[in-house]
Structure 1
Amino acid sequence: MTICVSLIALLLLSLLLSGTALQQQQQSLQSGSLNSRVERAALFQLRSTLGVRTKQWPIKTDPCLTWTGIVCSENGTVTEINISGFKRTNTGSQTPRFSVDSLANFTQLVSFNASGFLLPGSIPDWLGIQVKTLKFLDLRFCEITGGVPYSIGNLTNLSELYLSGNNLMGSIPSSLGMLSRLMVLDLSINSLTGSIPSSFGNLLNLHYLNLSRNSFSSFVPSQLGSLASLVVIDLSFNAFSGRLPKSLGNLRNLSIMMINDNNFTGELPYALWSLPGLRFFDASYNSFLGSLPNISLNANVTRATFNLSHNMFYGVLTNVVRSFSFVDLSYNYFQGKLPDCTRDVAILDRNCFRSCSNQRKLKECALFYSRKGLLFDNFGLTTLRDRKSKHIMIILVVAVFGSLGFTILLATLVILLIVCSRKKRRTSQTGTGVEPAEGYGEMFAYEKIVAATGGFNESNFIRNGHSGDIFMGVLGLGTCIIVKRFDLQSGKNTYTVESDIFSKISHHRFVPLLGHCLEKEKGEFLIYKYMPNGDLSSSLYKNNGSDDDILKSLDWITRLKIAVGAAEGLSYLHHECSPPIVHRDVQASSILLDNKYEVQLGSLSDACTPEGDRNSKRITRLLRLSQTSDQSVSGIATATCAYDVYCFGKVLLELVTGIIGISASNDSTTKDLLEGILSSISTYDKELVTDIMDPTLVVDEDLLEEVWAMAIIAKSCLHPKPSKRPLMRFVLKALENPLKVVREKTTNSTELRASSSNKCSCGGASWRHSLPRQVGGSQLQDSVDRCLSTIKHSKDVFREPLVVQDEERLNED
């Protein structure tokens, strides 16, 4: 999204100008010889100090007539200097510095463009004092350091100021508010801090404001609402906080607004929803909350594209959704029924809709609504005050009929004591331990499972697996368990398959099977030991335990530990079981983690012996015939150990990149993502891996080599030819000694030896763009329309969360 929208912003830079291009072109055609000896000397001094090559500025010619980028007026005075994209001479490139002192001698200079020309150093204070005729100043990507001089505020004729892509630090001087003729201000991609000066409210002619990708904090001043001419405002990727000022709803000419990736809170100003000219609005990755307004926007707004993802909006969807051409509402807390109008125009992933797939956990939704003082009921909102009223009524009824109720209660207690004493005696005789016995473990009574899960209450629901629903439960002695209820309607005998697999394996890398329950009429159940840290997909990023909803990612040592543990389990299945066993569902959600982040594999309902294995029992093969003949979406045969290796390679990439969901999908989007990631993995260039490495990881040089090694191992596992993928035993060996993978030249031929078949045999060992500077301002609206039409349905606009998921955003009670 960022790159795509930045392209729009850069294009608009070429459109938001004063409309004097034609006049200046005529001047350049009518320019005469350079008449001023002072300006001639100043040009030659500038040529020498900057190291401009003879090709651009030949010595023995008239600068006004032949020098590239020099424009003079009819009377022979320099009006424009453009050295954008020039290369220095060899001598000049040895000691480049910001040295443009001779500019002070050009009394009629209106434009200076040095974008892309290296000018290391700070902007001199005299620039705002000596060159007051400047109307256009472009110093983008010049490696400028220091701060923005206060004296820049003296350039009262300035209409366009570009300082993006440098290393500017400090705060914005309030003097910039004196540039009353300013139409374009671009300070993006720097290290500026502090807040936006309230004096910016005086920039009444400002059309374009870009402060993105800095370190601004504090509040956005309400004075920005006075900028009636503003068409584009970009405050993204900063640390702005607090509420968005209501005055921004007065920007009636606003077309593009980007405030994403900040710390904004509170509700969006009501007027923002109906700005007549607003075409693109990105407020994603903030902490906005509140419900959608129940309004229908006017006709001018129906083409708008909104991105409200990764916030805390809640409630039901209202009529405002009908008014957008596209809207991203993912990663919020919306609930209730989906109106038909959302089809094909809305992204709704990770909300609280019960009728949709890919939503938040029920417990997470209920916790969010309870903390907001709202009732989560899937269809609407009820305040806690209403609930308390109901409780008061119940108390009054109990008080009225108290005398009668006391008698009934006393009798009930006596009966319960008798029943409990009998159950206690029965329990002492039969035992209540949950340690698994041989084979399928303990036989659990159906009533015991129902009691443990609260009657399979939705509050105990964890997720829906492809073979059945998974619930959390608590036994009478306080022991936490996981209950898997198999889907009897699927037609697959997955209960038999999974329980049969557990009867054949004995290894500490698999989640312990505590028991089973087989009720002909009520269902089939398997009971497992509870894993405190859930699965890898939900543990890669977790809440830091505070109330600020900041996610903390797993450190590299833990990630490597998880990779080794999972490889141990798969290596056991492939090489120590006879016949070998293929897992067939290797992904982050099947890698379970105990309280010490030790791996215990689960999700074995699809496990089977490899295709064509002669040792598999005839009956077992018949039971699994429909499964073993299946292929994945990508066309890869799943009943082979090579398929397990391929899936494990995707898990390794999740650990390296931090991109959640790679291992859970085989669609075309994931394949394109894999191709992009694998192109940055090279056995010869360690630094390339930093382009794909999880940015939240903090690693030193040695740990970076381990990250590099894991990426190389993953790439080997993802070889398109199954016969070229390494055996899992060699993958395990490489992960146990990752530095040997990158430090020994013989690694590829020995440690990661590729298997010769699909069976699991046990034998054998800074961007920059060049744009036209001036285009008539009347073309602005048409150009905005064309730009938005090319991106509004692009997946780049509504990016998927590549680094974090906020499923664990709320603290657990």
Structure 2
Amino acid sequence: MEAHRSPPEVVLTLLVLLVFVSCFARAQNNPLRNNTERSALFDLRSSLGLRAKDWPRRGEPCWNWTGVACQNGRVVGISVSGLQRTRAGSVNPQFAVASLANLSLLATFNSSGFALPGSIPDWLGQSLSALQVLDLRSASVRGPIPQSLGSLGSLHSLYLSGNSLTGAIPSQLGQLSALSVLNLSQNSLTGPIPQTFSTLSNLISLDLSSNYLSGPVPPGLANLTKLQFLNLSSNILTASIPNQLGQLFQLVELDLSSNNLMGTVPVDLGGLRSLQKMLLGNNGLQGSLSDKLFSNLTRLQFLVLSDNKIEGDIPGVLWSMHGLRFLDVSGNNFTGVLANLSWNVNSTNTMFNLSNNLFYGALPTSLGKFSLIDFSGNYFQGKVPNDIETNASLNRNCLQSVMDQRSSEDCRLFYAERNLSFDNFGAPSPAESSTKSNKRWIFILAGLFGGLGFIVLLVLVLLLLLRRCDKRIASQREIANVGPAPEGRSPLPAKVSINSSGVGELFTYEQILHYTDGFSEINLIKHGHSGDLFRGILESGAPVVVKRVDLRALKKESYMMELDVLNKVSHMRLVPLLGHCLEHDSEKLLVYKYMPNGDLSNSLYRVTNLEDDNLQSLDWITRLKIAIGAAEGLSYLHHECSPPLVHRDVQASSILLDDKFEVRLGSLSEVHAQEGDSHQNVITKLLRKPQTSEQGSSGTYNLH
């Protein structure tokens, strides 16, 4: 039998293991050993004009330089996203990164949000053979995309969105066999989509939206069997939608909106069984929709077919899709009688926009339980169901006892063309109307001869004043929408936007869990009355703030108001919303851009650091700049939005500051529209005390 080890032997064994683990950990984070790479980093520090606070002169780059990642004493990653230049470095910023060519093992370069004015140099694709992630989003880059980028054989993520890139997309990008994410959106690129993209077999996300790309959608994109996100919206693409796209069985989001696409919606798209979001609005699509198109799309949540020329009935299978949350078929030629909509057990979160079509007949029952409906601009007749409240827009129909309806002649003619009867709004016959009119005159004459002339005169004056007020209110209601309303279409209610699906990028719940480490306490910034705020890091390395909204503890109207404001208004003085997640009924997630300088309450009390290149406390020029920025944001809400928006929670913690101390207003969940037809309601909203967030640490976000 083996003897037990003595205590000294156990202690010695533990010491050996401790030394081994310590040496191994140290090896993973060794100081920079390569003098060439050290010189390259200091050259990059000088050419970009980075502050000593972020890249200190005497600090070890692998340990003390923000955004520098090393492995075994070699530089493998650089991120200048969120960093600031010194005052001298901000005078004439350029795309001055030539020293990167000496970092032979560099795998990641992230400059998103950090201005690098100039063109992408050709050497970048020739010298950085180990590069895996290149992120130049919103970096002020201009000029063409160099063909040499097609030589980066290890590249799996390429982000060039939000710049001023011009020219055609190089076909050489089709050689990037390892590429999984390609984002070239929001540029000025022209020409066709390269046919070589059909060979990018590992591509998961392709975003070419908001450019000037022309020609057809390449059928070869059907070869991208791993593709989950395809966004080609806001271009000038022509021809029809390829049937082959129906072979993308992993596709979750398809956005072809705002192009010049023609033809019918292919039945083959019914093969997209993983699809959650189909956006085909604002094209020239025609024909009718087949039931087969939607019979297998059981995961579909968002369907937008607005502003096309589609006709016929809406497929009945759509009304039985329990996962459908947003349906917009406005501005088409759909017709027919709507089915009973009481099937949807989760209808409280569902929004329908069927406006400006040719629907007729009675309104469906159980409309009151839907989140928002817009049936305006059709030919519905009869009485309005009792359960409908303010969540419905029903103007320009043929309904009884509802303001702003079509003329009786227009409705009668429409129904006559279809050999249908029309009940004439339930109005009395001409004979009955004439009898009542005669009685009215008799009473008026009797009143005059009875000595009540003076009272009648006062009543007439009051009626005249009321009528003048009604005209003014009607005029305000016609423009009562944030931003211009499309021609020929009625604006939606000012409280809630029906187009909430278009707010930023659609994230999955699993993605946001990964970004925030499962909403860990370490990443918790603060508790707000409308949601908790968490720090997060996107796959590209860009920092974000995730707002977690619990609808069980928050009124849905507050969440919808915030989403409505972010959707309808766009201004440089409002906090940027990057995306959202609507997968869970009781929990909604909003992803905001990270503001490096926190809020004003923190920046006002910063202490000057003499070792840095720049003052950390706010000088009076910067304070004036912040004051002007806050005033510009409030002026936009008050004077440039229609109806005017009232912030109601302006305080230092709701004024956020980006890397250049530019103001971004937060706390948008407290914003309310000033309604022109209710002075008492306006005063109530102005004087109502907004809810404030729980006390958090200084400098944290107040997005509410």
TM-score range, shorter chain: 0.5 to 0.7
SS of alignment partner, residue 112 of structure 1: strand
SS of alignment partner, residue 265 of structure 1: coil
SS of alignment partner, residue 354 of structure 1: strand
Q: Who is 1:657 aligned against?
A: 484
- Please give the alpha-carbon distance, in whole angstroms, between the structure 1 residues aligned to 2:293 and 2:469: 55
Q: 1:209 offset after TM fit, Å?
A: 0.6
Contact 1:69-1:82 within 8 A present in 2 as well: yes
SS of alignment partner, residue 103 of structure 1: helix
Q: Spell out, residue by residue over 1:567-621, the C-alpha distance to the aligned partner (whole angstroms, 9 max, x if none).
A: xxxxxxxxxxxxxxxxxxxxxxxxxxxxxxxxxxxxxxxxxxxxxx995629988
Q: Who is 2:272 aligned against?
A: 275
Q: Who is 2:334 aligned against?
A: 334
Please list, as runs of the form range in 1=range in 2, the aligned pairs for 1:197-236 lying within 5 A after superposition: 197-236=194-233
- Please give the alpha-carbon distance, in whole angstroms, between the structure 2 residues aligned to 1:153 and 1:91: 35
Q: Spell out, residue by residue over 1:64-96, the C-alpha distance to the aligned partner (whole angstroms, 9 max, x if none).
A: 12211111121x111111111100011110010
Please list, as runs of the form range in 1=range in 2, the aligned pairs for 1:401-416 lying within 5 A after superposition: none
SS of alignment partner, residue 84 of structure 2: coil
- Please give the alpha-carbon distance, in whole angstroms, between the structure 1 residues aligned to 2:233 and 2:639: 24
* 2:234 is aligned with 1:237: yes
Match among 39, 42, 49 for residue 40 of structure 2: 42
Instruction: Give the letter for the 1:338 counterpart.
Output: L
| Identity score, percent | 33
Contact 1:469-1:487 within 8 A present in 2 as well: no
Q: Who is 2:30 aligned against?
A: 32
Please list, as runs of the form range in 1=range in 2, the aligned pairs for 1:77-226 lying within 5 A after superposition: 77-226=74-223
- Please give the alpha-carbon distance, in whole angstroms, between the structure 2 residues aligned to 1:160 and 1:639: 64
Q: Who is 1:246 aligned against?
A: 243
- Please give the alpha-carbon distance, in whole angstroms, between the structure 2 residues aligned to 1:684 and 1:47: 34
Q: Who is 1:471 aligned against?
A: 409
- Please give the alpha-carbon distance, in whole angstroms, between the structure 2 residues aligned to 1:723 and 1:186: 44
Contact 2:228-2:251 within 8 A present in 1 as well: yes
Q: Spell out, residue by residue over 1:632-655, the C-alpha distance to the aligned partner (whole angstroms, 9 max, x if none).
A: xxxxx9947545434433446679
Q: 1:683 offset after TM fit, Å?
A: 11
- Please give the alpha-carbon distance, in whole angstroms, between the structure 1 residues aligned to 2:202 and 2:70: 28
Q: 1:275 offset after TM fit, Å?
A: 1.3
Q: Who is 1:784 aligned against?
A: none
* 2:479 is aligned with 1:520: no
Q: 1:231 offset after TM fit, Å?
A: 0.7
Higher relative contact order, structure no. (Cα contacts within 8 Å, ≥ 6 residues apart): 1
The change in CA–CA distance for 1:231 and 1:124 in structure 2 (over 3 A counts) is same
Q: Who is 2:358 aligned against?
A: 352
Q: 1:256 offset after TM fit, Å?
A: 1.0
- Please give the alpha-carbon distance, in whole angstroms, between the structure 2 residues aligned to 1:90 and 1:360: 57
Q: 1:212 offset after TM fit, Å?
A: 1.2
Please list, as runs of the form range in 1=range in 2, the aligned pairs for 1:357-372 lying within 5 A after superposition: 358=375, 360=377
- Please give the alpha-carbon distance, in whole angstroms, between the structure 2 residues aligned to 1:120 and 1:523: 77
SS of alignment partner, residue 336 of structure 2: coil
Q: 1:248 offset after TM fit, Å?
A: 0.8
Unaligned runs of 5+ in 2: 1-23, 364-374, 380-395, 412-421, 438-451, 498-556, 574-629, 644-672, 684-704
Q: Spell out, residue by residue over 1:279-305, the C-alpha distance to the aligned partner (whole angstroms, 9 max, x if none).
A: 111111111122221338566625443
Instruction: Give the letter for the 2:273 counterpart.
Output: P
Instruction: Give the letter for the 1:192 counterpart.
Output: L
Contact 1:310-1:330 within 8 A present in 2 as well: yes
Instruction: Give the letter for the 1:277 counterpart.
Output: S
SS of alignment partner, residue 290 of structure 1: coil
**Structure 1 stretch 312-321 or stretch 685-694: which is displaced more?**
685-694
Instruction: Give the letter for the 1:293 counterpart.
Output: S
- Please give the alpha-carbon distance, in whole angstroms, between the structure 2 residues aligned to 1:688 and 1:341: 37
* 2:672 is aligned with 1:720: no
Contact 2:483-2:569 within 8 A present in 1 as well: no
Instruction: Give the letter for the 1:645 counterpart.
Output: R
**Structure 1 or 2: larger helix share?**
1
Q: Who is 2:58 aligned against?
A: 60
Match among 472, 475, 483 for residue 645 of structure 1: 472
- Please give the alpha-carbon distance, in whole angstroms, between the structure 2 residues aligned to 1:338 and 1:92: 63
Q: Spell out, residue by residue over 1:687-743, the C-alpha distance to the aligned partner (whole angstroms, 9 max, x if none).
A: 77996599xxxxxxxxxxxxxxxxxxx98966825999xxxxxxxxxxxxxxxxxxx
Instruction: Give the letter for the 1:92 counterpart.
Output: G
- Please give the alpha-carbon distance, in whole angstroms, between the structure 1 residues aligned to 2:279 and 2:25: 42
Instruction: Give the letter for the 2:332 counterpart.
Output: N
Number of equivalences: 446
Q: 1:314 offset after TM fit, Å?
A: 1.4
Contact 2:279-2:304 within 8 A present in 1 as well: yes
The normalised TM-score by structure 1 is: 0.48
- Please give the alpha-carbon distance, in whole angstroms, between the structure 1 residues aligned to 2:478 and 2:339: 37
Match among 442, 456, 459 for residue 617 of structure 1: 456
- Please give the alpha-carbon distance, in whole angstroms, between the structure 2 residues aligned to 1:170 and 1:678: 28
- Please give the alpha-carbon distance, in whole angstroms, between the structure 2 residues aligned to 1:683 and 1:32: 49
- Please give the alpha-carbon distance, in whole angstroms, between the structure 2 residues aligned to 1:342 and 1:218: 43
SS of alignment partner, residue 217 of structure 1: strand
Q: Spell out, residue by residue over 1:660-684, the C-alpha distance to the aligned partner (whole angstroms, 9 max, x if none).
A: 7999887744997899889999999
Q: Spell out, residue by residue over 1:754-777, the C-alpha distance to the aligned partner (whole angstroms, 9 max, x if none).
A: xxxxxxxxxxxxxxxxxxxxxxxx
Contact 1:243-1:265 within 8 A present in 2 as well: yes
Contact 2:398-2:425 within 8 A present in 1 as well: no
Contact 1:317-1:339 within 8 A present in 2 as well: no
Q: Who is 2:592 aligned against?
A: none
SS of alignment partner, residue 203 of structure 2: coil
Contact 1:206-1:229 within 8 A present in 2 as well: yes
Contact 2:270-2:292 within 8 A present in 1 as well: no
- Please give the alpha-carbon distance, in whole angstroms, between the structure 1 residues aligned to 2:177 and 2:570: 51
